[in-house]
Structure 1
Amino acid sequence: MATALCAGILVLLTACGTQVYGQGGERPDSHSTAEPIPWTTMQPSAVTGVRLGADHRTLFLKTQVPSGARACVRKLKAVLTDPATDLVRVQVTFTSPSGDRASGCTKESTATAQVRLPEPLGDRDVIVDNYTHFTADGAKPPALRLCGKLGCTPAATGCTAASYDQALMEVGAPEHTYRNSEKCDGKWLVLDFSWRTGPACGDSTDPACSSRLGDRWFFRAKKSGWEPIIRTSAGGCEDVRRKEPAFPTTLCESLAPLPPSLHPTYPPSSPSPSPDTSG
């Protein structure tokens, strides 16, 4: 009888089974037999910081990775992708089931990966996953400084071509934009620019080849670069001085309205929210 009882218990345990999610178990939202959610190799959504170890050779990389109620990350690692020259290039990867929302890995948390360099970092910059740039120049050790969209040493705010490029980037100017005119005194800026809309062709007399849209933005200088004040197609100073009374009339009183053919009836790719013309 004891033998029969044990056999019965064994059958029940075998029927119930013991499954660990992520190791061959069913999806948490499924009550039927299903394939396990695969763990795939991916990269972090962001690498937000790099710190140099006391040995000057180990890099600690602060990354944003998936998280949830269950394990969401395995095999987090950082590796050198090229021999270290004047730059150190690093790639961060991990495996996760977060590609399927049923995994429950729908949030993010911070995790640290590390890589040891074959020699001290010195004054070299670090590039992570091909596009995130860190430098020791101007940083507070042991941290490296995260560089911005304009690189590690952006142009000083002023009446220069490089600084105007920063202003165009700030308002989300379309690709291949070219500047039509600038009025600048170092503290305030008016920038007119336009971009082609017709097909690419060589006949400059054909309106279909030379049609374009344009915009006019007013800016004030900040330490971080040119800051947008307002966008308008009107001439003169009325719109901008309603928004910013300190804007100098010497830079706007001679402005003509933008031609209707230039000014778009819809906004281009621009910051959200775009400055408006209300008081």
Structure 2
Amino acid sequence: MSAVLCAVAVLFLGACGTQVAGRETSASPTGPIPWTTAEPSGITGARLSGDGRTLLVDARVPSGKHPCMRDLKAVLTEPVENSVRVQVTFSSPSGDMRSGCTKEKVATARVRLPAPLDARELVVDQDVQFTADGAKLPALRLCGQLGCTPPATGCTTASYEQALIAVDAPAHTYRDSQDCDGKWLVTDFSWRTGPACGDNTADPACSSRLGDRWFFKAKKSGWVPIAEGAAGGCRVVQRKEPDFPTSMCKSLAPLSRSLHPSYPPASPSASPSPSAS
């Protein structure tokens, strides 16, 4: 009889686990760790070989104590307009926490181009752009948010959008006013707060805004922010940049950062900035 009870106890413990110091434990997950195809978390650089036909792409890939990456490759995809498109992939077990692949390193993939890159842009993983134009070859130049050929600095809508990006303006920003002479720029902008109300601007909660004012100086890279402040007049900007024209700031009124419903709505030309979204 005791042998039968012992056998039953063994079966019970095998099905339900064991108790250690009052804590229930269970067996660790078993089976091999799966390797899956993935894309890099980021592209850090691209360059051409001496003959201009071999492309090398530097990418961030998983790293850890054990092997975390294999089969890294760059593959040409269908070109679009004047561009060469490349997709970078690799295999990794990093999707499984047991792999220990919690760090990253930079690895290089290469692909042979059918023809020299020349004036065409390189697009890696759909949205990272490089160009040989203005680059220190063999390295290619990484393009910015405004593409490889951003608008020339000046008193234009596209140039104002670049200025908003330079100060990391919030999404759906409205340009309320700007004064520009080609070398200097001051712009006021605002963005809505509160719930998303669509066209129901009669609700005060929907028409309330926050606002800011920035001053810029033109450089080769575009409009460069030099001062920020809601006070009126020239003190804020000329304290940091004495050469800023007095004629462009002396008549500036103080700008309330909390723009209430009485604040004039943006004019039709001051539509939300798509580039700041």
Q: TM-score range by the shorter chain?
A: 0.7 to 0.9
2:67 corresponds to? 71
1:211 aligns with 2:208: yes
Distance in 2 between residues matched to 1:79 and 1:260, nearest whole Å? 50
Q: 1:130 aligns with which of 126, 140, 145?
A: 126
**Equivalence map 1:54-133=2 (5 Å):** 54-83=50-79, 86-100=82-96, 102-133=98-129
What's the CA shift for 1:73?
Answer: 0.8
Counterpart CA distance in 2 for 1:252 and 1:40 is 58
Q: Determine which of 156, 159, 165 is the counterpart of 1:160.
A: 156
Matched, 1:229 2:226: yes
- Structure 2 counterparts to residues 233-272 of structure 1, below 5 A: 233-259=230-256, 261-262=258-259
1:81-122 CA distances to partner (integer Å, 9 max, x unpaired)? 215752211110111223345533333222111122344434
What displacement does 1:200 show?
A: 4.2
1:130 offset after TM fit, Å? 0.5
Task: Work out the CA distance in 2 between the residues paired with 1:251 and 1:68.
Answer: 56
Identical amino acids, percent of aligned pairs = 66
Q: In the alignment, what sits opposite 2:45?
A: 49
User: 1:125: Cα distance to partner?
Assistant: 1.4
Structure 1 unaligned runs (5+)?
1-30, 264-279
User: Do structure 1's residue 172 and structure 2's residue 168 form an aligned pair?
Assistant: yes
Q: Which amino acid aligns with 2:110?
A: Q
In 1, Cα distance between equivalents of 2:145 and 2:29: 48
User: Would you say how many aligned residue pairs link Structure 1 and Structure 2?
Assistant: 234
Q: Quote the residue 1:274 is aligned against.
A: none
Change (3 A) 1:195 1:146: same
Q: Output the TM-score relative to the length of structure 1.
A: 0.72
Secondary structure of 1:230's aligned partner: strand
Taking only aligned residues, the RMSD between alpha carbons, in angstroms, comes to 2.9
Distance 1:238 1:122, change over 3 A: closer
Are positions 1:220 and 2:220 aligned together? no
Higher alpha-carbon deviation: 57-66 or 244-253? 244-253
What one-letter code is carried by the residue in structure 2 that aligns with 1:186?
G
TM-score normalised by structure 2 residue count: 0.72
